[in-house]
Amino acid sequence: MLPLFLNQNEWNKEGTTVLAADLGATKTDVGLFRIEQNQLVTLREGTYSSQQFKSANKILDLFLKDISLPNILSLAVAGPVINNKANITNLLWEIERDEIASHVGIQDLYLINDLEATAFGLAMLTEKDTVMIHKGSENPIGNAAVIAPGTGLGEAGLFWDGKFYHPFATEGGHSDFASRNSFDFALYEYLQNKFGHVSWERVVSGPGISNIYKFLRDEKKREEPEWLSNKIQQGELPAVISRSVERSELCKETMQLFIRFFAFESANFVVKLKATGGLFIGGGIAPQNIRLFEQFKFNDSFCSSGRLNFLLEKVPVKVILNPKTALLGAAFYGAKNSLTK
């Protein structure tokens, strides 16, 4: 979909195998790929509950149990990667390149932030892998951005050099939440008392949906009907809330606020990167709730940044439907780095 600075056509090591993993706080996707006719072909995939394992090594051991070691290992990590080390922000895993390489026995190993991996993965998607929710300009040109609410809030940029895109990681989801009115400030105070520092991730994520809901229920005294209380006891709160919008005013208001805050931070990120080339929404929440973007007027909130509204109106916004985009991007990144050394 997007032209990155390395095209698959430049790959020249036919038969090279790449083991990629997207290490998340909730789940870990693992895939084995092989370069065939300048394409990455999927040979095998697996998904694991991250919380059930003590380390990434345990998952890799399980996946590699009955297959030959691949040539390349590329890991996407939900957290900042610094000097080939990373801590997954919402999971007690320490990721260290040299330690994993020694344990697994693959020296050609790469670490990449998961949202940067998602940005690389855009090169491997087709039009059917996305859905447009804000049309914007017919011929968008310029930097692009990726934002992904899930267990946390990930953000990455893509620098446009006039010919190709160059993905890069950010930790923008941890920047300060900004209130726009007295209601927002009351929410901010509630979250500040609970967490201390209040980032955008505290409202624009799965746990963020829960935070908004509890604020409305406990502080604003919105009614929680008995049937909803029973559902909450039986399932994950964010999922129950998003599925109960038509039945519960409390859930409806929660998701309205979530979409509004999501639009605000999306606009903030676009303006900071001057991402006129487009905004891509990843993560697990958006694809399951596309109907709510129109119902709760995402576009109106997205284009409400005062003097820069004219810029935001031109930015196309697409939701990524392919849940394996970060995994594909990790594989792409590993192949690119190995084959261009």
| pLDDT mean values, one per 10 residues, the chain (341 residues) | 58 82 92 89 94 93 93 94 86 90 94 96 93 94 96 96 94 96 98 98 97 98 96 92 96 98 98 98 96 97 96 98 96 83 58
Q: Please give the pLDDT value at position 340.
A: 60
Q: Look up the pTM and report it.
A: 0.93
- State how far the Cα of 205 lies from the Cα of 153, in Å rounded to an integer: 6
Residues 6+ apart with CB under 8 A from 337: 74, 110
Q: Please give the pLDDT value at position 98.
A: 94
Which residues partner with 39 through β-bridges? 36
The two beta strands, 153-160 and 165-169, are antiparallel
CATH 3.30.420.40 segments of the chain: 8-124+324-339
Neighbours of 205 (CB within 10 A): 26
Contact 56, 100 (CB under 8 A): yes
Q: Please give the pLDDT value at position 3.
A: 63
Q: Please give the pLDDT value at position 12.
A: 55
Residues of 308-324 as b/e, b for ≥16 C-beta within 10 angstroms? Answer: eeebbebbbbbbbebbb
Residues of 224-245 as b/e, b for ≥16 C-beta within 10 angstroms? Answer: beeebeebbeeeebbebbbebb
Residues of 269-281 as b/e, b for ≥16 C-beta within 10 angstroms? Answer: bbeebebbbbbbb
Q: Please give the pLDDT value at position 13.
A: 75
Locate tokens 């919402």: which residue? 90
Q: Please give the pLDDT value at position 299.
A: 97
Q: Please give the pLDDT value at position 337.
A: 82
From the candidate CATH numbers 3.20.20.190, 3.50.50.60, 3.30.420.40, 1.10.8.100, the one assigned to the domain spanning 8-124+324-339: 3.30.420.40
Residue 263: C-alpha distances to residues 257, 273, 286 (Å): 10, 16, 12
CATH 3.40.367.20 segments of the chain: 172-320
Q: What six digits make up the tokens of 274?
A: 């001057």
- State how far the Cα of 259 lies from the Cα of 50, in Å rounded to an integer: 27
Contact 57, 74 (CB under 8 A): no
- Among candidate residues 170, 169, 175, 182, the one with its CA nearest the CA of residue 200: 175
Range 172-320: architecture per CATH: 3-Layer(aba) Sandwich (3.40)
